[in-house]
Chain A
Amino acid sequence: MKSNFRAILRFGLPLFFFGLLSAGLGAQVLLKPKGPVILTVTGHISQRNTDDSAEFDVDMLDALPVSQFSTASPWHKKQVAFAGPSLKTLLGAVGARGKVLTMIAMNDYEIKVPFDDAAQFEPVLARRADGQELTVRQKGPLFMIYPFDSKPVLKGDIYYSRSIWQLKRIVVE
């Protein structure tokens, strides 16, 4: 995968208009990405913008409804406010149906996540932490994070390991 953050920033503002437009046109229509693709969703999805996948650039992701919560995590010393589209929202946008999500990071690390986690725990594909856009250095551009502080069951190795960072690809099965 290739990503160019400067390009994202450069094209971000003009594309924002298109994002609003696409949101206004409705979730049924998935636009083509204008900038570098940072997330690809494949598998059992009904909405695609290539032959076999749904590709998202930064603007398309930012156009989705934003979820936000604050939580502590094993990787941060204090509580951090994470913001971004929730996994549920994203899966809804691509019309995903399945049982398991295979999530793959930029360094090809991959992890299986139950499809139901999206509705049950509403993890967020964080784009920002405390308002600052996440860089690759800071586990960006997409860092899936569960609201650990909201439920005791989440504070454990299972959900820490499912919190994948530098996410670039989701396979819906």
Chain B
Amino acid sequence: VSSITEPRVLAYSLPMRDFFSGLPVSVRRWLLGFATFILVTLTGLCWIQYKQIEQVTRGTVQGHDNFVWEFYELELDLIRYQTALRDAISHPEIPDGLAQVSTSYNIFASQVLLFESSISRDVMKEQSTFSQAYAEAKAYLQKADPLLEKTPHTLAVSLRQALLQESYPLQASIHRLVLDAHATQSMRSSQTLDDIRRFALYEGITAALLLMLTIGFGLLAVQQLTLAGRRQRELESLHLEASHRAAHDPLTNLVNRFEFEKHLSRVLDLSRSQGAEHAVMFVDLDRFKIVNDTCGHGAGDQLLRDVVRVIGNCVRSTDTFGRLGGDEFGVILAHCGMQEVARVAEQIRQAVDDFRFEHGGRRFHIGASIGWVQVHKNWPSTAAILQAADSACYVAKHSGRNRVHAYEDNDSGVLAQKEETQWALRVEEALDEGRFELHWQRIVSIQPRHARHGDVYGEVLLRMIDKDGRRVSPGDFMPVAERFFLASRMDRWVLRTVFEWMVQHEKDLLHLTRLSVNLSGQSVGDSAFRADVLSLMDRMPVDFRKICFEVTETSAITNLNESVAFFVELRARGARIALDDFGSGMSSFAYLKTLPADVLKIDGQFMRKLLSDPVDRVSVRSMAQLAKATHMETVAEWVETQEVEALLRELGVDYAQGYLHHRPESLDGLLTLAQVTEPACLAA
């Protein structure tokens, strides 16, 4: 049994002990002291109460017997009897005399006998004179009873005198008894007075103890209240801090998106109830990413703080100024007319435009694209207002940045943006449902020294199949895909499909020398994508020497360091790199030294007027020469005539791609081409 109960006892006693020992020493000492104080005080109270009860009991008992009066009455009865006796002696002729004597004697006797039953032993002991007087009285009754208990017919005068004589010592004894009882009573009275005094003292002590207890508890209560008050204040400040933190952006100390929306909903309610004019403004920073990427996040954060100060100078203190995203800010202008809003927006745009951010000796010019929308009671929700403001901001950004756009119902800019959103939805749907098709276009060698029979070089092209079955070319959906961050998904799909297709048709692709696949700038800038592609390549049994990745020069330069590392990795797996649309951007040739590329694809724009425009000719020639100097091959796009091709050959371009040789067709066409081994270009 003990083995069962013991652990339980331990389990119960431990938390209490832990609680006590867990307290600070000073608090423990204080608690012990207070407990002792309470214990002592309560014990004192109990003792005092006990004493009081004792006192009250004794007082009640003493008040109960009143013997002085009874002894006095006894003496009176004796004196009456003596008087009657004396009358009977001096006037024996009165007929009723003896009857009177007998009656008064009997009254006295009955009084004596009364003590027999009513006087307690305690009184007998206490009153020493009583027992003596009582004995004398009994003795007298014994002598007188035969003569006087019943009214005698006659009684000799001598007997009467003897009775009278003997009654005197008895009367003396009884008188002494009265005096003694009286003295005892006075003594008792003084005792009672003492008792009352003591009683009062006990009452006083009780009151004092109670007062001490009350003060003790009062102090405890005050201390607890103080403690509780301090905790309350601490909690309040904690709460304030927490709610401030929950509602504010830690970097700029502006309200965050959540709080901003709460304010907006309050403003919308105001509009509905009072019909007042309010506005919401979205401010999107231009070129913030450049600072963040080139100077680091620390500089980016500093820039944000600086810009917040610049914008903060333009808005009123009553306006709600919040940070909604990375470089996106919102302002709620309550009770603000349209003209005033437009003025503030322009002021902000100007201020940000004038602002220069300096870092590491460089100065950066930041711009702001601002969209704003009026808040009126017809808006169905805050979400709709926010979307409208966002749309307006988007329009401002895409119509050239550093400008203000006000949202209006049926806004053409916003409508265009809506259309784009529709496009994005279509692309996303197509991605989800796999409604894409791969085509290809052949790239042919135009320099005789390269030409080898049966060699096939081409570029994979992507076509989207719309819901109604129409093919959509990349020019229509790629910009949208890039803008809505769908390009990487598309690239993944393309790569996986191409690789699988190559594995599947390995034997039919012996004639294939090189197949180009496009990578969007977004994909190249996405580290997750880069890692995925490399791991995909490591998994797939594809001869990657036949694969060439086409990347636009702009996207390669935007993420230069990452791109270079990525290209090195790709080349390590046998793949080649082509710089697409070369010459269309503003990049300098110097980059070509750092970029590990194999092929330069000259932008199709140069082919348009190649025959007539000497500048284009010079450009193409210099690009071809540059490529040669850096051991790169050149491909000319959009080649549509024999004349252009002839000129390109003369300018030193290695390959041509365009309708002249091949109209894009389904990728599977590449397989059937194996049978037709003769390339068309050699005929030329």
Write the residues of chain A forming the contact surface with B, with a CB cutoff of 8 angstroms. 2-6, 74-77, 106-107, 109, 135-139, 157, 165-166
Contact = CB atoms under 8 A, between A and B. Distances in A.
B114 interface: yes
A74 B73 CA distance: 19
A106 B117 contact: no
A6 B107 contact: no
B381 to A, nearest CB: 85
B109 interface: yes
Contacts of B96: 2, 4
B347 interface: no
B118 A6 contact: no
Contacts of A3: 99, 103
A77 B116 CA distance: 11
B449 to A, nearest CB: 143
24 contacts: A2-B103, A3-B99, A3-B103, A4-B99, A4-B151, A5-B151, A6-B150, A74-B117, A75-B114, A75-B117, A75-B118, A76-B117, A77-B117, A107-B73, A107-B76, A107-B77, A107-B107, A109-B73, A136-B103, A136-B106, A136-B110, A137-B109, A139-B110, A157-B64
Interface residues of B, number: 21
A166 to B, nearest CB: 6
Interface string B99-131: 110010011011101100110000000000000
Nearest to A135: B106
A74 B111 CA distance: 14
Contacts of A135: 106
A137 B113 contact: yes
Contacts of A75: 114, 117-118
Contacts of B111: 107
Nearest to A139: B110
B356 interface: no
Contacts of A106: 103, 107
A2 B73 contact: no
B149 interface: yes
B80 A137 contact: no
Contact of B110 (A5, A138, A157): A138
Contacts of B103: 2-3, 106, 136
B151 A137 contact: no
B100 A166 contact: no
**The 8 nearest A-B residue pairs measured at CB:** A136-B106, A137-B106, A137-B110, A107-B107, A4-B99, A137-B109, A75-B117, A2-B96
A3 B102 CA distance: 10
Interface in B135-190: 149-151
Nearest to A5: B151
A169 to B, nearest CB: 15
B504 to A, nearest CB: 117
Interface in B585-617: none
Nearest to A1: B103
Contacts of B73: 107, 109
Nearest to B117: A75
A76 B117 CA distance: 7
A136 B110 CA distance: 7
B99 A2 contact: yes
A3 B151 CA distance: 10
Contact of B80 (A76, A107, A138, A157): A107
A107 B106 CA distance: 11
Given A3-B103, A77-B117, A106-B107, 8 more contacts: A4-B151, A5-B150, A75-B117, A75-B118, A76-B117, A135-B106, A137-B109, A137-B149
Interface string B423-447: 0000000000000000000000000
A5 B99 CA distance: 9
A163 to B, nearest CB: 12
A165 B76 CA distance: 16
A157 B110 CA distance: 20
B110 A166 contact: yes
A165 B110 CA distance: 10
Interface in B61-92: 64, 73, 76-77, 80
Contacts of B114: 75
Contacts of A166: 107, 110
A75 to B, nearest CB: 5
B559 to A, nearest CB: 110
B151 A6 contact: yes
Given A107-B73, A137-B110, A74 B99 contact: no
Contacts of A165: 110
Contacts of A139: 110
A136 B107 contact: yes
B532 to A, nearest CB: 104
Contacts of A76: 117
A127 to B, nearest CB: 16
A109 B77 CA distance: 11
A25 B280 CA distance: 122
Contacts of A136: 103, 106-107, 110
Nearest to B98: A4
Contacts of B107: 106-107, 136, 166
A101 to B, nearest CB: 21
- Interface-central residue, B76, B103, B118, by most chain A CB under 10 Å: B103
A158 B99 CA distance: 34
Contacts of B76: 107
Given A75-B117, A107-B76, A107-B77, A2 B100 contact: yes
A64 to B, nearest CB: 24
Contacts of B151: 4-6
Nearest to B108: A107
A106 B96 CA distance: 16
Contacts of A109: 73
Contacts of A77: 117
Contacts of A6: 150-151
B603 to A, nearest CB: 126
Interface string B401-441: 00000000000000000000000000000000000000000
Interface in B609-632: none
Nearest to A76: B117
A77 B117 CA distance: 8
B627 to A, nearest CB: 132
B112 to A, nearest CB: 10
A107 B110 CA distance: 11
Contacts of A5: 150-151
Contacts of B109: 137
A100 B111 CA distance: 27
- Interface-central residue, A74, A76, A106, A136, by most chain B CB under 10 Å: A136
A74 B76 CA distance: 23
Contacts of A2: 96, 99-100, 103
Interface in B262-284: none
